[in-house]
């Protein structure tokens, strides 16, 4: 199980470090891997605050090139050098607002793994795509392209995570039913078995994200193909995230 908080563009560096210090004792006994995804400028302080705790640190994005004339971008090696463990790749907000594509997601996955980071690879359909009955096709395409050229050893050794986040349930207060969420996570697991084998499919963690709250986390995480959550707004509140991390 892995529970990761995506803070998005929230918390100043000082607020972020203080939050981790507040959160640490609350999740010290969590059986799940606990991850916080901080903004770039907050990452050094969050890494420092998380030392000696069971909290892992994620970046929310990265560039696929190792270096170069890419003003405003951050490379995988830069993240690794300051002690970051995970990186969120291909979040729907990156796709919607910043031109992220399935191809750039794949490039970033390769770069993250090469640098020793664990990618949290996001996928998910829009409301229109769900209503048109093409959820499976959309999610399968996104995951297949994201993992193109990644062999089983790299997949498992990197600790790669797949996060299913229906776009229509992100920040809307709408949540897929437990059965809807599990159905798509099962589709992803079946795809992993198809691309690799049953062993890989069983070992890769598949998260659900999309208005995960302290109230619904336990039931969502009890579903057979859901291995935790990628949590947005609720991860900004220590008491709520404590409940989710221990769910």
Helices (H), ranges, 82-157: 92-98, 102-115, 127-131, 135-146, 152-157
Q: What CATH number did the domain enclosing 101 receive?
A: 3.20.20.70
Q: Are 182 and 224 in contact (CB under 8 A)?
A: yes
User: Max Cα separation, the chain?
Assistant: 48
SS3 48: helix
| Active-site choice (91, 93, 100, 242) | 91
Domain residues for the domain of 125 are 2-245
Question: How many whole angstroms separate alpha carbon 3 and alpha carbon 46?
Answer: 17
In this prediction, residue 40 carries a pLDDT of 98
Regions in the chain scoring below 50 on pLDDT: none
Q: For the chain, where are the alpha helices, taking DSSP H only?
A: 13-27, 43-50, 76-81, 92-98, 102-115, 127-131, 135-146, 152-157, 178-195, 198-203, 217-221, 238-245
What is the number of residues in the chain?
247
Catalytic: which of 93, 125, 165, 242?
A: 165
Q: In this predicted structure, what is the pLDDT of residue 58?
A: 99
State how far the Cα of 157 lies from the Cα of 13, in Å rounded to an integer.
31
Q: Quick check: is 165 catalytic?
A: yes
Which pLDDT score, from 0 to 100, does residue 172 have?
A: 79
Q: What is the mean pLDDT of the chain?
A: 97
Total structural domains within the chain: 1
The question of whether 73 is a catalytic residue gets the answer no
Q: Is 0.85 topped by the overall pTM?
A: yes
pLDDT of res. 145:
98
């Amino acid at each position: 199980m892995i529970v990761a908080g995506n803070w998005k563009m929230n918390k100043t560096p000082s607020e972020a470090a203080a939050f981790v210090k507040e959160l640490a004792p609350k999740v010290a006994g969590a059986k799940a891997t606990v991850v916080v995804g901080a903004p770039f400028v907050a990452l050094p302080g969050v890494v420092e605050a998380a030392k000696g705790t069971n909290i892992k640190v994620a970046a929310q994005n990265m560039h696929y090139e190792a270096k170069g004339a890419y003003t405003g971008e951050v490379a995988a090696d830069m993240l690794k050098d300051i002690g970051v463990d995970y990186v969120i790749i291909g979040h729907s907000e990156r796709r919607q607002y910043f031109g992220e594509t399935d191809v750039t997601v794949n490039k970033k996955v390769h770069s993250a793994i090469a640098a020793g980071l664990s990618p949290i690879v996001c996928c998910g359909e829009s409301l229109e795509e769900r209503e048109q009955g093409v959820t499976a096709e959309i999610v399968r395409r996104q995951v297949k392209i994201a993992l193109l050229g990644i062999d089983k050893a790299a997949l498992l050794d990197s600790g790669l995570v797949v996060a299913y986040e229906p776009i229509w349930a992100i920040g809307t207060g709408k949540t897929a039913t437990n059965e809807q969420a599990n159905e798509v996570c099962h589709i992803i697991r079946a795809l992993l078995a198809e691309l690799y084998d049953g062993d890989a499919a069983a070992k890769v963690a598949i998260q659900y994200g999309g208005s995960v709250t302290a109230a619904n986390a336990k039931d969502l995480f009890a579903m057979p193909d859901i291995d935790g959550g990628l949590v947005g707004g609720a991860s900004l509140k220590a008491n709520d995230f404590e409940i989710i991390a221990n769910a």
